[in-house]
Copies of this chain bind each other. A is one copy, B any other.
């Protein structure tokens, strides 16, 4: 059992991933990491924290915590249309549990290789299980996808299916078993950052966000930042067969709108660029669905079967404890 902090870091975190952009000069083992920014690129950074009992159930295995942390964090780079490059990790651990740490670091290394990113630095401290990760990526100058660029008439798209992560969490909290459960729990534990999709849409999108708080809440961030509104067709929401089979139409639609933590992308594209977007996404493995349109007047309207009504944005808010697990 390792009790030395430096030995522990050295053993598990000294060789995690590699940076495809080739910008990393010095990594774990000095006071700071050193990076040589590529010429003519902007740096894009985001920090995220996950706390045991808040963002994932107590006693979640190390590999599942690694998947969830990695997917959620790099999803923020996807939302900016950035190419991931490197990350840092601050790990607060209640015990020195080599088996948990090894499972965590092995999964983290697998994902780092898969996405071509490198762990360049970290901090390990004693305390209640808390993980903070900062992710770093590169975009061309002034090409980062912001929340503030949506214009009236733009089409609103989302990637993948929505509500699955909330469904997976519910099956965990209520200890539910059934044929749909493995898929839904996989969606909860293993969010896939939509990096490839983001790089394909970046030339066409006017605004983008990743869905962490719930579609309505996150779309509302775009609307407020862009000073516009939206008309949504709830019948167009992409919902997985598994979620629909398990909880039916009404519940799956509600979770798709407000469940949160799907880490899919919501983005807007000018109507005239829709054909080019379709062409860019040919043969792409991740589904992209148009769910509505940006309007000039602030607020969100639903439109279905000839009826139009306003809705309030709602979503995940850590400080309401709504999703405390």
Q: Residues of A at under 8 Å CB distance from B?
A: 3-6, 8, 25-26, 29-37, 41-51, 53-55, 76-77, 79-80, 82, 88-92, 96, 120-128, 130, 132, 134, 136-137, 139, 141-142, 144, 146-148, 208-210, 225, 317-321, 324
Contacts and interface: CB of A to CB of B under 8 A. Distances in A.
A130 B6 CA distance: 21
Given A30-B146, A88-B134, A134-B47, A319 B36 contact: no
Contacts of A142: 25
Given A47-B132, A47-B134, A121-B46, A318 B126 contact: yes
Contact of A92 (B51, B79, B146, B208): B51
Copies of this chain in its oligomeric complex: 2
A79 to B, nearest CB: 4
Contact of A47 (B5, B53, B89): B89
B36 A3 contact: no
A319 B43 CA distance: 34
Contacts of A34: 42-44, 80, 139, 144
A312 B229 CA distance: 66
A123 B47 contact: yes
A31 B72 CA distance: 12
A132 B90 CA distance: 7
A32 B79 contact: yes
Contacts of A29: 147, 225
Given A25-B42, A30-B147, A31-B210, A49 B92 contact: yes
A317 B42 CA distance: 37
A51 B121 contact: no
A125 to B, nearest CB: 5
A125 B318 contact: yes
A33 B55 contact: no
Contacts of A51: 92, 125-128, 130
A85 to B, nearest CB: 11
A35 B45 contact: yes
A144 B120 CA distance: 15
Nearest to A43: B35
B90 A45 contact: no
A209 B4 contact: no
